[in-house]
Chain A
Amino acid sequence: MSTTDPGGFRTAGDVPMELRADLAALLLSLADNKRLLGMRYAEWLLGAPTLEAGIACSAMAQDEWGHSRILYAMLKDFGEDPGRLEHEREATEYLNSELLDDPPAEWAGLVALNFLLDAALSVQIEALKDSRFEPLHYKVRKVLEEERFHFEHGRGWVARMAQTRAGGEALKAALTPAWESCLRWFGAPGGELVGRLAGAGICDAGSDELRSRWLGRVGPFVEEAGLGLARRAGDGQWQSVTDPDWSGWDGSRRRSGDGALNAETLAGVRGDKNRAMLMD
């Protein structure tokens, strides 16, 4: 009666031992990035340029927190304690993109996170849609349904800001550093964790292919906005105008640089204040 693919993995225990830590690290990286991105969206609830954008930030924050809860809960099967993951880790234990270490100072910075980083996370998640690790199937579909509107929101704001000179300049200043960071986020060329997972059918593509899918998704809109970050090659594929600098890349933390979340962000994301109130 089971519809399980005979080659599929129904639990973490079915995943070959040598890949289990890789898959757990990928899930944790997605969970941490989503949890923090949700926090960044929430910070703009009241400061967004229009009421509609504030409501959208609220909806996107709720979505991201929901997605991260799903992902943290999945890690229980890998022997992790989701409660500890969510509330008790130190800053350097988070597998977040360096773009989320500090809150963006301006709306353009949030648009960069929304349009570039959120899309990168979605490209990676989409590659798990038909994963051999079957617990992902249903959950991934729900996540992607919601993410469709995050992308619309991001591209809508990129187009809107690009209409004015000041908006275009702010956009370029915010998107340029985020661009390189997102290119790196998929992993170093030719290998690493995502490559090993792709080899086992847990992820449907390796780092280079995922990077190219992301470029295909965001490239047309950054070009339309005149940001000079992407171009369409002769074969129709979208390429980055610059190659990212890999010198500070740390594959095990899936980030560049040896920084970490700032103290305020860490306290917020762990919910330290909530727990202090419960202790009273």
Chain B
Amino acid sequence: MGHLSGEHLYEIFARQKREDRLEHVGTVSAPNAALARAYAWQTYDEQKWFEMVVAPREAFEPVNRDEDPFTLNPAEAR
């Protein structure tokens, strides 16, 4: 997934109820955390979320694979 220079991918996790576990709901591209929060909340508004959090994709450490985390297409895997 390409993105503009100066932009980072942020992964979004959310849950509808306190007793739920956070689930990965999507990704946004943003230049900073403030915009990532605004974009995440305004874009993924299909539910009335109890909690939503975002984290930059770079913060995730791959555990069992050498490729970048969150890669969907095998062709993009490095």
B39 CB to closest chain A CB (Å) equals 4
Specify the chain A residue showing the minimal Cβ separation from B3: A50
In the complex, number of A-B residue pairs with CB atoms less than 8 Å apart = 56
Q: Could you tell me the distance between the alpha carbons of A241 and B31 in the complex, rounded to whole angstroms?
A: 29
What 0/1 readout, one digit per residue, does chain B (30-74) give for beta carbons within 8 Å of chain A?
Answer: 111111111101110100000000000000000000000000000
A60 to B31, CA, bound (A): 19
Select from chain A the residue with minimum beta-carbon distance to B35: A156
Chain A contact surface mostly: helix
Contact of A160 among B29, B31, B41 (CB under 8 A): B31
- Chain B contacts for A55, CB-based, 8 A: 39, 42-43
State whether A157 touches B42 (Cβ < 8 A): no
A40 to B4, CA, bound (A): 25
The number of chain A residues touching the other chain, given as a range, is 10 to 19
Residues in A whose Cβ lies below 8 Å from that of B36: 156
Asked whether B32 lies within 8 Å of A149 as measured between CB atoms, the reply is no
Residue B14 interfacial (CB < 8 Å)? no
A-B contact pairs, 24 of them (CB 8 A): A50-B7, A52-B28, A52-B35, A52-B39, A55-B39, A55-B42, A56-B42, A56-B43, A59-B42, A60-B42, A149-B37, A149-B41, A150-B38, A152-B35, A152-B37, A152-B38, A153-B34, A153-B38, A156-B32, A156-B37, A156-B38, A159-B31, A160-B6, A163-B6
Q: Which positions in B face A, CB cutoff 8 Å?
A: 4, 6-7, 28-39, 41-43, 45
